[in-house]
Structures are given as C-alpha cells and as structure tokens.
Amino acid sequence: MRIEAILFDKDGTLFDFAASWGAWAQAFLMRIAGGDRSRAVRLGARIGFDMARGCFSPDSIVIAGTAAQVVEALAPQLPEFDKASLQALVNEEAAAAPQAEAVPLLPLIDRLRRRGLRLGVATNDAEGPARAHLAAAGILDRLDFIAGFDSGHGAKPAPGQLLAFAEHVGAAPASVAMVGDSLHDLLAGRAAGMVTVGVLTGPAPARVLAPHADAILPDIGHLPDWLDGGAGRVAEILRNDGSN
C-alpha cells in the first residue's frame, strides 16, 4: 500500500539524542541535587546516566521511557520534592533543552508535505516540552498531530498514540509509516499495523532495530528516497551490518 502519512518519534529521530540530551541531563541532575555533584552522580545512576562520561546507558529509562517514569525513578531519592513538583521541574527543564536537529528539519518536512503526506509526532516526552521543541525548530505548524505520554493516548510501545494519529488524519494504519530510533517506536508500529522504519540517530544500533523494522535508514533525511524505492540497498546494508 502507498504511504499516505508519516508519524515521527521525536528524541533520537527528529533530534539527535546524544547531542540534545547529554547536556540537559548534566544540568538537570545538578539542579535537583542542589549543586551537590556526588548526589547528582547517584541520581544519574537511577536513570541510567553517567555524569563522568556525559552519556546514557543503552537501557536508560530516559531513552524510551516517559517523563513520569523518570520521576518515579528519581522520587525516592528526592524527599524534598513531591512528585507533582518534580514532574513540573522535569517538564520545565526538558522544554528549555536545546535540541540538535538530526537533519535540517524545516526543508525536509516541507518536502514531505509537498508530496501530500500527513505528518505527526508521537513521543514519550510530555506534550508541552515536545511542542516547545517543535516550535523552536520551526515545524510545529507543519504537523497535523502531536501527542506526548500525557495527551490521553497512552505511551509507546502501546499503539494508542499511533492509532489516534491514523484516525485523526483519516489514514488506514497500514498506509502509515512509524519512524523511530528505539524498539518502543517499532514495537508500537507493529502493534498498530503500520509500516516501521528505524533510524540510527539514537542509541539503538541497526542490529537491535532490524528484526522489528521494514527498513533501516541512517537518518530521516533518507525518507524521500525510501518513499521512492531508492533507499532499499542502503537500508539492507545497514540492516545486515553487525557493526552497527
């Protein structure tokens, strides 16, 4: 079936994960730790972030989990915050985090829109910070649908956000491509009955994504070629490359 709509994950897909969130984690952890670096290191370990190296572990809850799950992980170590206040602080810091575009987003989004594609974003971030990031990139008004974990459709890997997008744009799920960098994205896509496209601008390597993806692309900039059937050879190389 012809692709009629594309639903993007946000972190690691529209925006390069490591370049965007490493600096955020350092600043956020120091803030909630009251400037105590040793405490920030311990808090970082709770969410799979290494303060010394400035990077996330592959199984970090920040990579594919929700902001609410981050709060649940941190709250036992932060008795000075109630969960609502901590959630508000997570959202505030996330909204202000500078985002590094995986590719220049505005020209790509406009190129896809000119093809008649309906476009949306489904993220396990909160909707408020997601809208802030998309607005800063200049693409908020180009999107037909935006959902966060708190938008009423659930969170990935459940398919609620994806099915809500398909319904919103009037597309059959099988005609929608779910594009993401994590297993949560691809499992949600499979559960929704969508075409699944993995990209390598997040922490997950190709060999992890491949069993759940109809295509693997280096980044979303290759989507137009893939839609035209021209990226198959590159995708297959990446799919079978055990070094990625």
Q: Do 158 and 107 share a structural domain?
A: yes
Q: How many domains does the chain have?
A: 2
Q: Do 179 and 128 share a structural domain?
A: yes
Q: Which segments of 90-192 are extended strands (E)?
A: 118-122, 145-147, 176-180
Q: Which residue has the tokens 């590094």?
A: 100
Structural domain for 49, as ranges: 18-96
Asked if 206 contacts 244 with a C-beta cutoff of 8 angstroms, the reply is yes
Distance separating alpha carbons of residues 199 and 109, to the nearest angstrom? 16
Q: Do 128 and 50 share a structural domain?
A: no
Q: Do 215 and 120 share a structural domain?
A: yes
- Strands 49-50 and 55-56 come out as antiparallel
Residue ending a domain, choose from 96, 127, 153:
96
Residue ending a domain, choose from 75, 96, 117:
96
Distance separating alpha carbons of residues 90 and 45, to the nearest angstrom? 17
Q: Which segments of 100-238 are extended strands (E)?
A: 118-122, 145-147, 176-180, 195-199, 215-217
Distance separating alpha carbons of residues 172 and 65, to the nearest angstrom? 27
What is this structure's pTM? 0.82
CA 18 from centre of chain: 12
Q: Do 220 and 150 share a structural domain?
A: yes
Q: Do 9 and 118 share a structural domain?
A: yes
Asked if 201 contacts 102 with a C-beta cutoff of 8 angstroms, the reply is yes
The per-residue pLDDT string of the chain (244 residues; one tens digit each, 9 = 90 and over) reads: 689 999 999 999 999 988 888 888 988 999 999 999 999 999 999 999 999 988 888 889 888 788 889 999 999 999 999 999 999 998 888 888 889 999 999 999 999 999 999 999 999 999 999 999 999 999 999 999 999 999 999 999 999 999 999 999 999 999 999 999 999 999 999 999 999 999 999 989 999 999 999 999 999 999 999 999 854 544 454 545 444 5
Residue ending a domain, choose from 96, 129, 153:
96
